[in-house]
Amino acid sequence: MEKVFGRPNSLRNVATHYCPGCGHGIAHRLICEVVDELNIRERVIAVAPVGCAVIAYDYWDFDCSEAAHGRALAVATAIKRVHPETVVFTYQGDGDLAAIGTNETIHAANRGENLSVVFINNAIYGMTGGQMAPTTLLGQKTATTPSGRQAGSAGFPLKISEMLASLAGVYSVERASLHAPQEIVRAKKAIKQAFINQMENKGFSLVEVLSPCPTYWGMSPKEALDWIKDALIKEFPLGKLK
Partner 1 sequence: MGRIAVDKDKCKGCLLCASVCPKEAIITDSGLNKMGIKAVKPKEGADCSGCAMCALICPECCITVYK
Ligand X SMILES: Cc1ncc(C[n+]2csc(CCOP(=O)(O)OP(=O)(O)O)c2C)c(N)n1
Distance, in Å, from the CA atom of 72 to the CA atom of 90, rounded to the nearest integer, reads 6
SS3 158: coil
| 72 forms part of the interface with ligand X (CB under 6 A) | no
C-alpha 55 chain-centroid distance:
14
Window 77 to 106, contacts with ligand X (CB under 6 A): 93-96, 100
Tell me: does residue 52 bind ligand X (CB under 6 A): yes
6 binds, among partner 1, ligand X, none (CB under 5 to 8 A by kind): partner 1
Closest by CA to 28, choosing from 45, 1, 8, is: 8
β-partners of residue 145 are 142
Q: Does 74 bind ligand X (CB under 6 A)?
A: no
Closest to partner 1 by CB, 21 vs 101, is 21
The residue range among 120-128, 157-165, 188-196, 221-229 that interacts with ligand X, by the rule CB under 6 A, is: 120-128
Is 126 an interacting residue with respect to partner 1 (CB under 8 A)?
A: no
In the complex with partner 1, which residue's Cβ is closer, 4 or 82? Answer: 4
- Given the complex with ligand X, which of 40 and 115 has the nearer CB atom? 115
Q: How many residues bind partner 1 (CB under 8 A)?
A: 30
Radius of gyration over every alpha carbon of the chain, rounded to an integer in angstroms = 17
**Residue 195's closest CA among 106, 89, 66, 110?**
89
Q: Using alpha carbons, list the distances in angstroms from residue 108 to 66, 140, 181, 199, 237.
A: 17, 30, 32, 18, 24
The contact set with partner 1 (CB under 8 A) reads 1-8, 11, 15-16, 18-26, 29, 178, 180-181, 184-185, 214, 221-222, 225
